[in-house]
Amino acid sequence: AGKKVLIIYAHQEPRSMNGSLKNTAVEVLSEQGCSVTVSDLYAMQFKATATRSDITGNLCNPKHFNYGVETREAFRSGNLCKDIAEEQKKVQEANLVIFQFPLYWFSMPAIMKGWLDRVLIQGFAHNYPQCYDAGLLKDKLALLSFTTGGTEEMFSKEGDSGDVKYLLWPLQHGMMHYCGFKILTPEITFAPEYVTENRRKEVLTSWAQRLQNIWNEKPIICTPP
Ligand code: FAD
Ligand code: ZN
């Protein structure tokens, strides 16, 4: 109770498996007394591209645009555009951020990648050497919850897609851990389109059960040996 959860949700269809996984999280966590905020990226028509218009006011170097430098300075001076500032406020307040998405090309959908590109700005989320364990969001937890087209067998060591740990590495280590997040075990829903309705119900029940106990979970080590 009293904990704050932010769900970054990227699916176009509310009746999708992703929509159901998101709704389950909202229900279970709210029942616990957590305050839950959802950023429904497609519904918000969240802008995915990192562009000059993300900075309001004057640029440091109008002759040679450098997105990283300009957003770092704009963050410092309070000159970031409104949608970025709003997302940063939600992240700032959250104890746990859940990313709910369908796997697109071994990664997250562009709209969610764009959220990371635009929101997790230097000075806000990281500021070298404040990265990884020293990242600026180090008091927060992150959890990737995603669905796949491929089956669990395809994502095994012997499978055609290879061990799922390889695609988790850039997402969990390169993105989340870089910003300091402590990582909870990913929730991977394999091939929801190709399993039975009953199996999908079981998956949602087990996600709900996991969430009942989520605050007792220990972070994982996302840096493989
Ligand atoms: P949906 O089709 O929305 O849902 C599956 C089924 O669950 C539906 O029948 C729905 O009715 C049902 N359902 C929803 N809610 C409930 C409920 N409460 N109870 C019971 N049933 C329910 N896959 C890979 O493996 N690797 C890739 O690299 C990859 N790249 C992709 C790239 C692109 C551009 C695209 C479009 C897809 C890609 N995919 C890939 C496939 C994609 O990951 C899957 O299609 C997606 O994860 C399926 O999830 P969904 O929520 O969209 O499924
Ligand atoms: Zn790591």
Residue range 189-202, pLDDT digits in tens: 999 999 999 999 99
Q: Is 199 in the pocket of ligand 1 (CB under 6 A)?
A: no
Distance CA 23, CA 27 (A): 6
- pLDDT the model gives residue 1: 67
Where do the domains of the chain lie?
4-216
Q: Is 147 in the pocket of ligand 1 (CB under 6 A)?
A: yes
**Distance of CA 17 from the midpoint of ligand 1 (Å):** 6
Q: What is the pLDDT of residues 14-70, one digit of tens each?
A: 999 999 999 999 999 999 999 999 999 999 999 999 999 999 989 999 999 999 999
In eight-state DSSP terms, residue 216 is G
Q: By alpha-carbon position, which residue is closest to atom 27 of ligand 1?
A: 105
Q: Is 13 in the pocket of ligand 1 (CB under 6 A)?
A: yes
Q: By alpha-carbon position, which residue is closest to atom 13 of ligand 1?
A: 17
Q: What is the mean pLDDT of residues 126-143?
A: 98
Task: Enumerate residues 6+ apart whose C-beta is below 8 A from 19.
Answer: 11, 13
Ligand nearest to the CA of 100: 1
Q: What is the mean pLDDT of residues 101-109?
A: 98
- pLDDT the model gives residue 48: 98
Q: Which CATH architecture has domain 4-216?
A: 3-Layer(aba) Sandwich (3.40)
User: Confidence class of residue 223 from pLDDT cuts 50, 70 and 90?
Assistant: confident
**Distance of CA 49 from the midpoint of ligand 1 (Å):** 24
Task: Enumerate residues 6+ apart whose C-beta is below 8 A from 117.
Answer: 48, 50
Residue 57 or 4, more confident: 4
